């Protein structure tokens, strides 16, 4: 067999070239298509931007507000007319009422302030509003308009010119009418004729209007032409001294009463009244000493006293001023309970009908060349005030009684009491005594020794008991009336 004929070699180079050409052709086609698509997309984007922006080339953009007016879609002329029209109407309607305690105190309006609008400022505002959405390329404007949709632009033209000094003058006048100066309470008078003897001028709570914040707020309302109402609210100014605080310096520290015996004559009662007339109304300064004789003076007819029975040397005798000892006793008891320092006091030589042993205080203008006085010193730290009177006994309308009240710094929860203990009884072992006056006849009487104390109670608990005096009341013999001595 003859061998097969030799095969021709394949043309590989041409085939590769064809493939490359095909690929390049495809790439070109793809590029052309992509470029076409790109051009088409860009064109669409530009068109979209133009569609949004171009309609407002000669108009204000949406989202632009001047004085609350939406200028979007308006020409500059329309916008200016709208804003100016509103300004004119706003000036006519603008007012601010100033009220005080709910009532209108004053009203401020544009005419009062001679207000007008600054035209240069108005033009600046309108021009600035126009730039919103009109600055830069269409793409820039598009972004600005998009931003306006999210956050509108709002501005006010109100920067009115006018006489704001009128506001200052008005507020100064209102302040003068509203302001009240705080006043401390003070004592007007001490008048013992009243049940509570002190007359006070009450404190006055002041007020003051701070006009600076009001003026600033008014300026703001003027600048924005905002109508409304402003309530004027003054600040309270408290006085330094109130009547309640002042009354603590004029509190009742103590009072004492003694009953007037039903057998007491009118002259004797008038002598007590005369003593109290001279004593009542006394203002005793701190550190000063009160003297009964020094204040009441001589018990004489010229001094307004009457003849009445008084007890002298164990005898009842008629003398001018009888009854003064009951006045001094009542005052003594009040002074002890008011915390006064007793500097001079003597007991009677016998018991008296109006006070128990150890609680009495005798006085005499002049006996044996010496006075018998009742004195006390004011150690309270402030003035004390004494009220003394003869009054109807509330427990027995048919009887009168003596009452002395001492006022001054309040004692708070502290109470002073005059207390007496009998130390010893002194039996009467004396021989009878004959007297010529039936009024002095009496049975024998035991004597006694008593201690008197100032007891201090705080919140009702005894905290101190200070010895004041030890008094000896001697026993008395029987006194027998003898007609022969009387000359019968």
Q: How many residues does the chain have?
A: 488
Q: How far is CA 172 from CA 179, 215, 230, in A?
A: 10, 10, 16
Residue 257's Cβ-side half-sphere holds a number of Cα atoms within 13 Å equal to 12
Place of tokens 């010193």: 377
Which positions ≥6 away from 155 have C-beta within 8 Å?
65, 66, 125, 128, 129
Q: What is the pTM of this model?
A: 0.69
DSSP code at position 439: G
Tell me how far apart the alpha carbons of residues 94 and 114 are, in angstroms, rounded to a whole number: 12
CA-CA distance, 391 to 98, in Å (whole number)? 59
Alpha carbon of 164 to those of 6, 134, 168, 302, 415: distances in Å? 119, 37, 7, 79, 66
Q: Encoding tokens for residue 130?
A: 């126009």
- Contact assessment for residue 75 and residue 58, using Cβ atoms and an 8 Å cutoff: yes
Q: State CA 174 to chain mean position distance.
A: 24
Task: Round to whole Å and give the CA distance between 96 and 321.
Answer: 79
The per-residue pLDDT for 1 is 45
R_g over Cα of the chain: 55
Q: What is the rounded CA–CA span in Å between residue 134 and residue 307? A: 118
Grouping H, G, I as helix, E, B as strand and the rest as coil, residue 144 is helix
> What CA–CA distance (Å, rounded) separates 348 from 324?
12
Q: What's the confidence (pLDDT) of residue 430? A: 85
| Rounded distance between C-alpha atoms, residue 365 and residue 305, angstroms | 13
Cβ atoms of 75 and 59 within 8 Å: the answer is yes
The SS3 of residue 178 is helix
SS3 annotation, 254-297: EEEEEECCCCCCHHHHHHHHHHHHHHCCCEECCCCEEEHHHHHC
Strand ordering across the sheet containing 103-109: 103-109, 95-100, 228-231
Within 10 Å of residue 82's Cβ, how many Cβ atoms?
Answer: 16
Residues forming beta bridges with residue 315, ordered by sequence position: 312
Question: What residues contact 20, with CB distance under 8 A and at least 6 apart?
Answer: none
**pLDDT tens for the chain, residues 1 to 488:** 445 555 554 555 566 666 566 666 665 565 545 555 566 888 988 999 999 999 999 999 999 999 889 999 999 999 999 998 888 877 788 899 999 999 999 999 888 887 777 788 889 999 999 999 999 999 999 999 999 999 999 988 765 566 778 899 999 999 999 999 999 999 999 999 999 999 999 999 999 999 999 999 998 888 777 899 999 999 999 999 999 999 999 999 999 999 999 999 999 999 999 999 999 999 999 999 999 999 999 999 999 999 998 876 666 778 899 999 999 999 999 999 999 999 999 999 889 999 999 999 999 998 667 889 999 999 999 999 999 999 999 999 989 999 999 999 999 999 999 999 999 999 988 889 888 888 778 899 899 999 999 999 999 999 999 999 999 999 989 988 887 776 66
Rounded Cα distance between 434 and 339, Å, is 44
């Amino acid at each position: 067999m003859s061998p097969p004929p030799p095969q021709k070699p394949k043309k590989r180079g041409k085939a590769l070239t064809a493939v490359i050409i095909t690929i390049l052709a495809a790439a070109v086609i793809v590029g052309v298509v992509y470029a076409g698509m790109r051009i088409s997309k860009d064109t669409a984007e530009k068109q979209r931007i133009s569609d949004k922006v171009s309609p407002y080339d000669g108009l204000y953009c949406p989202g632009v507000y001047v004085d609350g007016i939406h200028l979007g879609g308006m020409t500059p002329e329309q916008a200016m007319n709208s804003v100016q029209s509103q300004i004119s109407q706003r000036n006519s309607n603008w007012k601010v009422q100033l009220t005080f305690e709910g009532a209108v105190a004053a009203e401020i309006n544009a005419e009062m302030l001679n207000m007008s609008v600054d035209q240069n400022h108005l033009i600046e505002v309108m021009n600035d509003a126009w730039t919103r959405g009109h600055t830069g390329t269409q793409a820039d404007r598009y972004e600005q308009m998009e931003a306006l949709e999210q956050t509108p632009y709002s501005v006010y033209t109100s920067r009115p010119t006018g006489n704001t000094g009128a506001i200052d003058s008005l507020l100064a006048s209102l302040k003068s009418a509203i302001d009240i100066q705080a006043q401390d309470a003070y004592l007007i008078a001490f008048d013992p004729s009243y049940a509570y003897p002190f007359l006070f001028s009450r404190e006055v709570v002041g007020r003051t209007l701070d006009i600076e914040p009001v003026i600033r707020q008014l300026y703001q309302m003027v600048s924005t032409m905002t109508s409304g109402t402003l309530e004027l609210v003054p600040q309270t100014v408290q006085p330094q001294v109130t009547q309640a605080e002042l009354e603590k310096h004029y509190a009742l520290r103590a009072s004492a009463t003694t009953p007037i015996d039903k057998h007491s004559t009118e002259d004797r009662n008038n002598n007590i009244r005369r003593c109290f007339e001279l004593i009542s109304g006394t203002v005793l300064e701190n550190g000063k000493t009160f003297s009964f004789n020094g204040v009441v003076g001589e018990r004489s007819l010229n001094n307004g006293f009457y003849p009445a029975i008084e007890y002298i040397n164990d005898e009842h005798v008629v003398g001018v001023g009888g009854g003064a000892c009951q006045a001094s006793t009542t005052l003594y008891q009040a002074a002890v309970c008011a915390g006064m320092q007793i500097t001079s006091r003597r007991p009677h030589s016998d018991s008296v009908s109006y006070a128990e042993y150890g609680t009495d205080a005798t006085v005499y203008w002049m006996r044996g060349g010496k006075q018998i006085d009742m004195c006390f010193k004011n150690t309270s730290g402030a003035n004390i005030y004494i009220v003394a009177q003869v009054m109807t006994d509330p427990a027995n309308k048919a009887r009168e009684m003596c009452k002395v009240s001492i006022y001054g710094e309040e004692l708070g929860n502290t109470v002073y009491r005059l207390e007496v203990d009998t130390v010893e009884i002194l039996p009467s072992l004396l021989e009878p005594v004959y007297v010529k006056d039936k009024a002095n006849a009496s049975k024998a009487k035991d004597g006694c020794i008593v201690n008197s104390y100032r007891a201090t109670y705080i919140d009702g608990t005894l905290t101190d008991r200070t010895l004041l005096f030890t008094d000896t009341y001697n026993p008395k013999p029987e006194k027998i009336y003898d007609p022969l001595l009387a000359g019968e």
